[in-house]
Amino acid sequence: MKKVMLIIILLLILMPIKIESININSECFILMDSDSGRILTGKNIHRQRLIASITKIMTAVIAIESNKMNDLVKIDETILKSYGSNIYIEINEIMSLRDLIYGLMLKSGNDAAMMIAHHLSGSEEEFAKLMNNKAKELGMNNTIFRNPHGLDEETENYSTAYDIALLTKYAMTLDEYRKIVGTKKHYVKTNYKTYEWVNKNQLLFSYKYTTGGKNGYTERANRTLVTTASKDNLNLIVVTLNESEHWGVHKYLHDYGFANYKNYKIISKNNFRLVDEYFYKDKLFVKNDYYYPLKEKEKDSVYTKAKIIKFNNYDDHTKVGEIEIYLNDEKIHTQNVYVRKIKRKWNIFRWLINLFI
**Catalytic hit among 56, 134, 169, 251:** 56
- Do residues 4 and 309 lie in contact, with contact meaning Cβ atoms separated by under 8 Å? yes
* Helix/strand/coil for 83: coil
Q: What is the pLDDT of residue 314?
A: 83
- Do residues 10 and 274 lie in contact, with contact meaning Cβ atoms separated by under 8 Å? yes
**pTM for the full model?**
0.86
**Strands 318-327 and 330-340: what pairing?**
antiparallel
**Catalytic hit among 26, 82, 85, 108:** 108
- Do residues 243 and 222 lie in contact, with contact meaning Cβ atoms separated by under 8 Å? yes
CATH (residue range 2-15+264-340): 2.60.410
Please give the Cα distance from 96 to 69 (Å, whole number). Answer: 7
Domain ranges of the chain: 2-15+264-340, 28-244
Would residue 96 show up in a list of annotated catalytic residues for this protein?
A: no
Q: What is the pLDDT of residue 329?
A: 78
Please give the Cα distance from 213 to 99 (Å, whole number). Answer: 17
- Do residues 158 and 147 lie in contact, with contact meaning Cβ atoms separated by under 8 Å? no
As averages over each run of 10 residues, the pLDDT of the chain (357 residues) reads 40 43 81 97 97 98 98 97 96 98 98 98 98 98 98 97 98 98 98 97 98 97 97 97 94 97 91 71 86 89 86 85 85 90 62 57
Q: Which CATH architecture has domain 28-244?
A: 3-Layer(aba) Sandwich (3.40)
Q: What is the pLDDT of residue 10?
A: 42
Burial state string for 203-227 with b = 16 or more CB within 10 A and e = fewer than 16: bbeebebbbbbbbbbbeebbbbbbb
Q: What is the pLDDT of residue 24?
A: 79
Tell me the helices (H) and strands (E) count for the chain, helix number first: 9, 19
Please give the Cα distance from 221 to 89 (Å, whole number). Answer: 26
Q: What is the pLDDT of residue 16?
A: 38
Torsion angle (degrees, nearest 10) of CA 257, 260, 266, 268: 70
Of 106, 130, 120, 39, the closest CA to residue 73 belongs to 120
**Catalytic hit among 36, 53, 85, 159:** 53
Q: What is the pLDDT of residue 346?
A: 56
Would residue 53 show up in a list of annotated catalytic residues for this protein?
A: yes
